[in-house]
Amino acid sequence: MSDSEENEGKSDQSDGLPTKPSTLLYTPTSKSAATATDTDSGSQGEEDGTVDMIRRFFSQTFSLTSDNECAVVDKVIPELTFEGLSMHWRENGFKNIVTMVGAGISTSAGIPDFRSPGYGLYSNQKQHKLPHPTAIFDVDNFQKNPAPFFELAKELYPGSFMPTPAHYFVRLLHEKGVLQRHYTQNIDMLERLAGLPEDKLIEAIGSFNTNHCLNCKQFYDMAWMKKKIFSDALPICEQCKGLVKPDIVFIGENLPDKFYSCPEEDFKECDLLIIMGTSLEMQPFASLIHRAGPRCIRLLINRDAVGRASFAPWMDANGEALLYGETKNTRDVAFLGDCDAGVWALAEALGWEDELQQLISKGQRELDEEKDNIVVYYGDEIQTAVIDSAKK
């Protein structure tokens, strides 16, 4: 997948809520400094900008910062901690929230991420007889040897897993009218199962919801593809006999148009970006954090500290990385731990616990009712199976 972090999540398998949520710090340039840099022009401006970056690098590296450089930072909120963010949210609220998530929000549902050693899906490459872990999502390899992908698809196919509290928290944001958009790298469709409407959803690397023939582009719906996958039959196009593939973005394919067209509008007035369960390693998905304006708070809920500048702070001249521990932090906060623990902590702090629990209970009842009389396909035969609704 060209953005195959898809399910990369560095997932959240911690034992629960940390005793004291961590505070992650960030240091963009001040608004006035950014404006001055933006208005510079010509070679002199570029030269001055380079000199300034080098100066800041040596100042930070060798502790040469002057007293004037230790001025009070213009913070978006008074206290850049999880508690401080929660207090600000209670007292002032947010109106335009964007969420971006990776595989970490789905691991508590039983779906493994892709990169965890011994646990992630990539670690199981040998059983699929693949030349390298990502070959299962390489479009050329898929056309030569599609069986491994469809074996994996059978394991991950939507309907086998239930949405997590993190998915329902995003749904709760929508119910409260504050969710601008939800960007996901996951193909499990758990956002849809949690009840998030399609117009609020950007599936950055696609999903099993639609399918097309690689040859003639004939469309096939999810029911058609499910019948093929669960009967262990390769999905062959009825029009041209070509291979039919779910509309999941493979390596060498483009991301959906919506991923490129929506961010400009979505981040225009975004006042809170929530980042959950992702390593922020794969582009272009990770670049969404750069879309947030300088006064937009960015909240990270993740097991690992991610999003740092790749080499040195001075190389992040535009202040786009999540620079934890920097003294000039203006807007970044983080909860390091399990995604579900993070959203429950938010719900508790905001007084939303009962609403979140009610939404989860209602969603589970609705999914149970749908599964009470589910249709299971075996080749050309259709059998009706009664599914025990009791959860493990």
Query: Is the domain of 107 the same as that of 182?
Result: yes
pLDDT at 56 (0 to 100) = 53
Q: Which residues on neighbouring strands pair with residue 138, listed in sequence order?
A: 251
Tell me if 263 is assigned to some domain.
Answer: no
Query: Is the domain of 290 the same as that of 341?
Result: yes
CATH of the domain at 136: 3.30.1600.10
| 70 annotated as ligand-binding | no
pLDDT at 42 over 70: no
CB contact at 8 A, 296 and 272: yes
Query: Is the domain of 344 the same as that of 238?
Result: no
Q: What percent of the chain has pLDDT over 90?
A: 48
pLDDT at 347 over 80: yes
Query: Is the domain of 275 the same as that of 153?
Result: no
| 296 annotated as ligand-binding | no
Count of all residues that appear for the chain in the document: 392
**Closest to 234 measured CA to CA, from 139, 147, 154, 148:** 147
Domain count, the chain: 2
| 270 annotated as ligand-binding | no
Q: What is the rounded average pLDDT of the residues 46-75? A: 52
CA distance 53 to 100: 30
Quickly list H helices, the chain. 31-39, 42-61, 82-92, 139-144, 147-156, 165-175, 190-193, 222-230, 257-261, 263-266, 339-350, 353-371
Query: Is the domain of 243 the same as that of 306?
Result: no
Tell me if 308 is assigned to some domain.
Answer: yes
Query: Is the domain of 340 the same as that of 218?
Result: no
Query: Is the domain of 79 the same as that of 154?
Result: no
Tell me if 22 is assigned to some domain.
Answer: no
Cis upstream peptide for 112 (omega within 30°): no
Host domain of residue 127 = 117-160+206-248
pLDDT at 365 (0 to 100) = 87
pLDDT in tens, 200-240: 999 999 998 999 999 999 999 999 999 999 999 999 999 99
CB within 8 Å of 83: residues ≥ 6 apart? 21, 349
CA distance from start to end of the chain = 32
| 262 annotated as ligand-binding | no
SS (H, E, C) 193-221: HCCCCHHHEEECCEEEEEEEECCCCCEEE
CA distance 272 to 307: 17
Query: Is the domain of 194 the same as that of 218?
Result: no
pLDDT at 296 over 50: yes
Angle at 199 between CA 165 and CA 89, to 5 degrees: 50
pLDDT confidence tier of residue 253, bands split at 50, 70 and 90: confident
**Closest to 340 measured CA to CA, from 185, 175, 170, 179:** 170
The better pLDDT of the pair 139, 278 is held by 278
C-alpha distance from residue 9 to each of 119, 167, 258 (Å): 12, 14, 22
- DSSP, residue by residue, 215-264: TT--EEEHHHHHHHHHTT---B-TTT-PBEEEEEPPBTSPPPHHHHHSHH
Q: Residue 8 is encoded by which pair of tokens?
A: 């990369």
pLDDT at 138 (0 to 100) = 85
